[in-house]
Amino acid sequence: MNTAIVDPMIPVPYQVRSFQKELSDTFTIELTPASGRRPFHFKPGQFNMLYAYGTGEVPISMSGDPADPSKVVHTIRAVGTVTDTLMALREGDNIGLRGPFGSSWPVEAAEGHDLIIVTGGIGLAPLRPAIYHVLKHRKKYGKVCIFYGARTPEDILFRKDLESWRGRFDMYADVTVDRGTGDWAGPVGVVTNLITRGRFDPHHTVAFVCGPEIMMRFSVQTLNGLGVTNDRIHVSMERNMKCAVGLCGFCQFGPTFVCKDGPVFRFDRIQKIFPVREL
Amino acid sequence: MVQIDGLGKLLAEHPFFRGMDDAAMEVIAGCAANERINADTYLFREGGAADKFYLVRHGTIALEFHVPGRDPVVLSTVHEGEIFGWSWMVPPFTWTFDAKAIELTRLVSLDAKCLRGKIESDHSLGYDLLSRFIPVLADRLNAARLQMIDMYGRP
Ligand SMILES: Cc1cc2nc3c(=O)[nH]c(=O)nc-3n(C[C@H](O)[C@H](O)[C@H](O)COP(=O)(O)OP(=O)(O)OC[C@H]3O[C@@H](n4cnc5c(N)ncnc54)[C@H](O)[C@@H]3O)c2cc1C
Ligand code: FES
């Protein structure tokens, strides 16, 4: 049951329960309802609109465990006005929240298939809830592979999670960096290289892809080259948003509203609008 | 002959030569040798004679660029099932980067002089080889471009 949405346009006050720095420009906040209202459920891939009072509002995906609705977790990269303000938040500070909104990673439809997760940079944050879900229901999936790309070893997000996924016997996780620095002894090169090295059955594979759009474009090409068709590839489109509920038209392209019909789309359904730079 | 059969089998199992016909495979196996290189050892250095190309059977090779006064820059790593070294096809046949084993690595090397000789007398073999090399080169070029644009950088 979703108890967070009262009027989807009015932000509800939340308090920062914890703040954790992940990387030099990336942090994770855990939020709790300021008024003691009940926690809400969300699906992997959904997002909230976070309102930094006096500054503005931004869409941010949930990055926590969907099985634990008591924790509202967001991982944010500071890239501009609002996200820089959010980075200054500390325990006990208040922000506004609307949500959850949008479509989700089709974790249930992917059951019975091999699952390939291709991600890069901050793109791992919107996918982490899907990974938690899949690992909780591990037996329902065939092979599970995670391919993650980062700029340098210092930019690897959720390193502890990646290490623990890598250490499991029932899945495959690999990380590559664009530039090897320090004593990095792992792969160097783009994340698409990992896809071609992975051993999975492309004809029975579902792929979830999230990262910078250019990374997603090349990942889709690589998956296609291996035989994974566009109806089995899902991507998350991050376009600017205002209302997040399909009212203002800010994110609209033809009949498609990225906020309401997305952000997670089956690739064959948006491949025409995918290359459009600004909606 | 036994050795060539063994190498022919290794080559035929490598993804780079997948689907090549047996006769061509045997000709190429005549130029092949097994190699093993220990971790942290250089296989070749920039400027040296590019007299071979390599298929990785197991292990990891780092392709590095040496910048004076700085630590070497790793351009990419090459893994099991992949190939490296195309300078043997392009005059003046010298390496344009260093290759170092990150871990104990097993390779099959193909002697460039021997291969060039076989291609001279059998152009269809050259065509087959080129049509295998070009997709690899195109992939590497695309990958290098993506690395260059710093796609994870601040928007
Ligand atoms: C559905 C959805 C989910 C998202 N989930 C997350 C998340 O989990 N974590 C996270 O860190 N970010 C996420 N984002 C991106 C985040 O919303 C933007 O980074 C944020 O809106 C930037 O606002 P700002 O005021 O800080 O920066 P601005 O000052 O508005 O912009 C700074 C720079 O960032 C660029 N930019 C703005 N929005 C985006 C965007 N959506 N994608 C790429 N570049 C952008 C601008 O072009 C500009 O160059 C998500 C976006 C969407 C649409
Ligand atoms: S953001 Fe208003 S319609 Fe999508």
CATH number for the domain spanning B90: value is 2.60.120.10
Q: What is the pLDDT of residues B80-130, one digit of tens each?
A: 999 999 888 889 999 999 999 999 999 999 999 999 999 999 999 999 999
Q: Is B92 in the pocket of ligand 1 (CB under 6 A)?
A: no
- A25, A155, A187: residue with CB nearest B77: A187
A1 pLDDT more than 60: no
What pLDDT, on the 0 to 100 scale, is given for residue B5? 63
Q: Is residue B1 part of a domain?
A: no
- Ligand nearest the Cα atom of residue A243: 2
Q: Does A185 touch chain B (CB under 8 A)?
A: yes
* Shared-domain flag, residues A265 and A228: yes
**Do the bridges between strand A205-210 and strand A114-120 make them parallel or antiparallel, or are there none, so unpaired?**
parallel
Burial, B48: exposed, middle or buried (Cβ in 10 Å; 0-12, 13-18, 19+)?
middle
A41, A19, A146, A155: CA torsion to nearest 10: 150
* Shared-domain flag, residues A188 and A246: yes
Question: How far is Cα A45 from Cα A265, in angstroms, rounded to an integer?
Answer: 10
Rounded alpha-carbon distances, angstroms, from residue A142 to A139, A206, A275, B7: 8, 10, 32, 35
What pLDDT, on the 0 to 100 scale, is given for residue B10? 87
Q: Is residue A275 part of a domain?
A: no
* Mutational test site, ligand 1, from A79, A264, A277, max ligand atoms within 8 Å of CB: A79
Q: Is residue A107 part of a domain?
A: no
Which of A83-87, A206-210, A260-264, B68-72 bottoms out in mean pLDDT, i.e. has the lowest? Answer: B68-72
Instruction: Please state the rounded mean pLDDT for residues B122-149.
Output: 91
Number of independent structural domains in chain B? 1
* Shared-domain flag, residues A180 and A132: yes
Question: How far is Cα A104 from Cα A106, in angstroms, rounded to an integer?
Answer: 6
Q: What is the pLDDT of residues A97-130, one digit of tens each?
A: 998 999 999 999 999 999 999 999 999 999 999 9
Q: Of A45, A69, A101, which residue is a domain's last?
A: A101
Return all residues near A155 (Cβ < 8 A) that are at least 6 apart.
A23, A121, A177, B152
* Shared-domain flag, residues A256 and A216: yes
CA-only gyration radius of chain A, Å: 18
CATH code of the domain covering residue A25? 2.40.30.10
Q: What is the pLDDT of residues B3-14, one digit of tens each?
A: 446 788 889 889
* Shared-domain flag, residues A94 and A202: no
Return all residues near B68 (Cβ < 8 A) that are at least 6 apart.
none
Question: How far is Cα A41 from Cα A43, in angstroms, rounded to an integer?
Answer: 7
- H-helix or E-strand containing B13? helix B2-13
CA-only gyration radius of chain B, Å: 16
- B62, B146, B150: residue with CB nearest A188: B62
CB < 8 Å to A218, chain B: 142, 146
Q: Is residue A109 part of a domain?
A: no
Question: How far is Cα A56 from Cα A50, in angstroms, rounded to an integer?
Answer: 8
What pLDDT, on the 0 to 100 scale, is given for residue A278? 57
Q: Is residue B2 part of a domain?
A: no
Q: What is the ipTM of this complex?
A: 0.87
Q: Is the peptide bond before A100 cis (omega within 30 degrees of 0)?
A: yes
CATH code of the domain covering residue A142? 3.40.50.80
How many beta-carbon pairs below 8 A join chains A and B? Answer: 67
Q: Which domain holds residue A159?
A: 114-269
- H-helix or E-strand containing B123? helix B123-148
Q: Of A66, A101, A136, which residue is a domain's last?
A: A101
Q: Does A189 touch chain B (CB under 8 A)?
A: yes
A198 pLDDT more than 90: no
What pLDDT, on the 0 to 100 scale, is given for residue A211? 95
Which of A18-27, A232-241, B30-39, B66-75 bottoms out in mean pLDDT, i.e. has the lowest? Answer: B66-75
Q: What are phi and psi of A55, to 5 degrees?
A: -120, -55
CA of A244 to the centre of ligand 2 (A): 5
Q: Of A69, A101, A133, which residue is a domain's last?
A: A101
* pLDDT-derived band at B16, boundaries 50, 70, 90: very high
B139 by DSSP, 3-state: which?
helix
Q: Which domain holds residue B124?
A: 7-152
Q: Is residue B127 part of a domain?
A: yes
Number of independent structural domains in chain A? 2
CB < 8 Å to B147, chain A: 178-179, 189-190
Most confidently modeled range among A33-42, A174-183, A204-213: A204-213
* Shared-domain flag, residues A179 and A260: yes
Q: Is A49 in the pocket of ligand 2 (CB under 6 A)?
A: no
Alpha helices in chain A (DSSP H): 81-87, 124-136, 159-166, 191-197, 213-226, 258-261, 267-270
